[in-house]
Structure 1
Amino acid sequence: MNTAPRSLLRAMFDAAIASAQPAAVVPAHLPEPPKGRLIVIGAGKASGAMARAVEDHYTGALEGLVITRYGYAVPCKRIEIVEAAHPVPDEAGLLAAQRIEALVNGLSEDDLVLCLISGGGSALMPAPAQGLTLADKQAINGALLKSGASIGEMNCVRRHLSKLKGGRLAALCHPARVLTLLISDVPADHLPDIASGPTVADASTCANAVAIVARYGIKLPAAARQLLDSGAGETVKPGDPRLARAETRLISSPQIGLEAAAAVAREAGYSVCILGDSIEGEAREVGQVMAGITRQVAVHGQPLPAPCVLLSGGETTVTVRGYGKGGRNVEFLLALGMALKGQAGVHAMAGDTDGVDGLEEIAGAMLGPDTLARARAQGMNPSQSLDNNDGHGFFGALGDAVITGPTLTNINDFRAVLIDRPGAAEQNP
């Protein structure tokens, strides 16, 4: 098998991840020391590395606590790093969230809260609203993850069932100043959806959350349903005076990662088309659409001629119906491969920049013109694997899984389709 396209695809993926490393993007945004205390808080898969970047470059006194995913902690001396579960929350996350709430109570106008937020914060900082339990939140999260709901829809529901999300954390910090540094992992960088927006105002309503629950047939605990139906779960709205001193800075995003990957591809002599940084929808359907665009390039040279790379980001969804564990990147890739039917000169990679695709500790996988043939030679049925949402099992058996380990950041999904002129890959190993 020719390895050059695979090596280039992996180099592009690595460049996207490197562009969002906290050590590179946090220092330029650190504030001047306040008159009072500096309290550092945060949650997300990148929050531990963000905290380390703060410690390495901030010269004043500070204290604080951030919550990150198991395996994503880094050594810090002044900021405590707590590890918790993702994507379904656990008690470690709950207890740490309660400690963050206590840290920001009773602050003064002279104090400054530096909030470090990245993708994954919704699950990592669970704070059930009045009347709800951790078990309730776990059940709701699990149902949302399997429902096929978009990240925006899931986080709308989460915001309205929380004590800290939807701007409530910033409201608790009042009258202190709040500076939030955000690493985005959501389509269109919609601020209320990044970790469910704990420090930003939210225009969505309980009625919106009720509609989402009904749309996907999600059964809520009675207490959660009461919160939504009564309006008691309403979030902090734009114009709320408690957020008047809350500032938000987006310091890295999916688009930045795609541009970094594009630079690598161009250096290797490929033209690049970035199709979008916020593509959503069922992963298998997005794979079929991408196959159509790929064929248009290969056959007609549109929207650009080969050799080229098609890049995209965003967050697709998987409605889990089979025995597999889902994984939107591998599901996309398997659907793409089936639609392409071994198209000559086409290689692809899809992966989650946090290193975890769905519930598996695997970032994603690689696809080549020979993938389906190799699978069938091993007695595998690609169509059956797709029907069972078992992309991880499929690519794992072929040795085509991409495993990075914890990347310490998260700018959502990365998809790259590399299209050579037919025969070019074989002629130029």
Structure 2
Amino acid sequence: MARVLSLSRAVHHWRPLWAGTPSAWVRSMSSLQDRARAVFAAAVEGVQPDSVVRRSLQLHGDELVVDGRSFKLTNNLHLVGFGKAVLGMAAEAERIVGDHLVRGLISVPHGIQETLKHHGKLNMLLGSSSRIKVMEGAKHNLPDLDAQRSAESIRELVSALTERDLLLVLISGGGSALLPAPVPPVTLQEKQDVTRRLAAAGATIQELNTVRRALSLLKGGGLAHCAHPAQVVALILSDVIGDPLDLIASGPTVGSKVQPEKVWAILDRYDLTASLPSSVKEVLNKPGPQCEGDPGEQTQDTRDHVLNSVIGSNTIALECAGRKARELGLRPVVLSPGVSGDVRTVARLYGLLSQYACSPGKEPPAELQAQILQVGPEVGVESWDLFRTMKLLGEGREEGWGATCLLAGGEPTVQLTGKGQGGRNQELALRVGLELGGGAKKSPAVFLSGGTDGQDGPTEAAGAVSDAELEAEAKNQGLDINGFLSNNDSFTFFSRLSEGSRLLMPGLTGTNVMDVHVMLLPPPSE
């Protein structure tokens, strides 16, 4: 019971910032941790499904405008969607197009409608007279029979369209799990087992989507191929580093020919080839047809009938975070929206950048710069981004600027060695805390890592906040950090530490553009 009460206090601590704090109160905030939470909240608010759809979809009479292109509406608009944020996207899209919508069908996570009601996010729910059918599935973000039924219904809807029809496709993070349509003879269970083992072995989201696409009827352009000759317009909320259209939700509207050698290379990399089911081997050796043809062989005419538009991304979230940082008197510096790789190496990079920014004197040691340039590329941060970031941090030192808000995003990975509760954001925050307190002199920085969907792994938290006092705080409370790390049990650690006050608990946000990292760096002390 005590644990539930402590988590409730953590939720209460978050909500004033999330709900929109009065500006006077915000200006009076002195805690760097409070400011980090406010910056994260602004990042998530900037990529809410209704706002990104409103910015991207305009109706002028009977003309629908997307990305500067106009589409004539003549009682011919149909809608499908799949993903964690799609319910809110669909609700806003229907508000915009009104009676022009003939029918719609969306595949969304299990229980999301009830959860959104519970959190008071009524703007993300469809009206009672909606023409869009909602099908829930993919419990625990894993493809299941409910999601497969949804995928089959979506396939039937789009396959019946003609050249007179316009299909609006809404895609967001989680779309892969919500659109499972395995290529026969692969079963859903077999496909699910392969992807689960890949994820447990540390495969990246790009690698997971490459394998999923090869085993699916609708991914890799399959959905658009089924809809041909109808015009397809896809609005995409990206949850993949770099916003590659062919990998977001495994690219259902992006024609791409399956390259079996790339899939085999991924499976070999994680030692899964020998243990694959015979059905999977059969499909990978000879990719099956999709809707009476291979989407990789689409004609130019087919491709001309598809418009893909990324309307929300991690980059946009970081831009919104930067604006909030300025409001709070912080100097925003964006490192990269593409941080990836093992959380241990990512934590090391943040520790080095903290040392660089907070070292006394005018010039940080050259050895420190060399270490940053070595570690950065290992976690997806290009050398020019590292040089640019260090230059900006250096300018702040020379010109005597105040606290800096270093921003980054992406999706690091965790090697599973235990059976505890937690996710990459909580584990990253824990490891960064150790880095900040592990040098000859403790860093004054505060670090936050949070998932923009509000859920970090199978936990109630989105992430956590840490600083150099983390280790001492844990020792005072009898908590063995290394034990929790070896068991991948970061959620239990943060729940017990100081009554869960360091946890990030926004609840379901209704969106998903990967993770946001916030590191607040006070000016160096002489």
Distance 2:269 2:347 in 1: 24
Q: Give 3-state SS (helix, strand or coil) of 1:257's partner.
A: helix
Partner residue, 1:34: 73
One-letter code aligned to 2:95: D
Count of aligned pairs: 423
Deviates more, 1:339-348 or 1:114-123: 339-348
Show the 5 A alignment for 1:213-228: 213-218=267-272, 219-228=275-284
How far apart are the structure 1 equivalents of 2:518 and 2:276?
38
Q: Is the 8 A contact 1:171 1:243 kept in 2?
A: no
Contact kept in structure 1, 2:32 and 2:520, CA below 8 Å: yes
Q: Which moved more, 1:118-127 or 1:303-312?
A: 303-312
Choose 409-418 or 242-251, whichever is displaced more: 242-251
Mapping of residues 74-113 of structure 1, within 5 Å: 74-76=124-126, 77-85=130-138, 86-113=140-167
Candidates 316, 323, 336, aligned match of 2:432? 336
**1:333 aligned partner, one-letter code:** A
Q: Distance in 1 between matches of 2:75 and 2:161?
A: 9
**Pairwise CA distance, 1:65:** 0.8
SS state of the match for residue 237, structure 1?
helix
2:94 aligned residue: 55
Contact 2:354 2:443 in 1 (8 A): no
The amino acid that maps onto 2:310 is L
- Of 302, 307, 318, the match for 2:403: 307
Equivalent residues in 2 for 1:269-308, closer than 5 Å: 269-299=329-359, 302-303=390-391, 304=393, 305=397, 307-308=403-404
Q: What is the aligned partner in structure 1 of residue 373 from structure 2?
A: none
Moved more, 226-235 or 23-32: 226-235
Give ranges in structure 1 of 5+ residues lacking alignment: 425-429
Shift of 1:17: 0.9
1:7 to 10, 14, 34: 34
Distance 1:3 1:395 in 2: 23
Q: CA deviation at 1:103?
A: 0.7
- 3-state DSSP class of the match of 1:376? helix
Aligned to 2:242, the other structure's residue is in SS state helix
Kindly state the Cα deviation for residue 204 of structure 1 after the two structures are TM-superposed: 5.4
Name the TM-score, length of structure 1 as normaliser. 0.93
Q: For the residues of structure 1 that align with 2:306 and 2:477, how far apart are their CA atoms?
A: 57
Unpaired segments ≥5 residues, structure 2: 1-28, 59-63, 65-70, 114-123, 365-389
| SS of match in other structure, 2:246 | helix
- The offset of 1:71, in angstroms, is 3.8
* Structure 1 CA distance for aligned equivalents of residues 238 and 108 of structure 2: 15
Say whether 1:236 aligns with 2:295.
Answer: yes
Q: Secondary structure at the match of 1:171?
A: helix
Other-structure match for 1:355: 454
Out of 115, 120, 144, the residue aligned to residue 198 of structure 2 is 144
**What is residue 249 of structure 1 aligned with on the other side?**
309
Q: Give the number of the structure whose residues are more often helix, by fraction.
A: 2
Query: Which of residues 214, 217, 238 is equivalent to 1:163?
Result: 217
Q: Counterpart in 2 of 1:131?
A: 185
Is 2:444 the partner of 1:390?
no
Q: Percent identity?
A: 37
| Greater Cα offset, 383-392 or 23-32 | 23-32
Q: CA shift at 1:182, angstroms?
A: 0.3
Specify the code of the residue in structure 2 equivalent to 1:72. I
In the TM superposition, what are the counterparts of 1:167-178 in structure 2 within 5 Å?
167-178=221-232
The answer as to whether partners of 2:404 and 2:523 remain within 8 angstroms in 1 is: no
Q: RMSD of the alignment, in Å?
A: 2.1
Q: Which residue of 2 aligns with 1:409?
A: 511
SS at 2:253 equivalent? coil
Normalising by structure 2, we get a TM-score of 0.77
Larger Rg: 2
Q: How many angstroms apart in 2 are the aligned matches of 1:291 and 1:246?
A: 45
Contact kept? 2:434, 2:468, Cα under 8 Å: no
The Cα offsets for residues 371-424 of structure 1, whole Å up to 9 and x where unpaired, read as: 221111121111222222222222122212111111111111000111114789
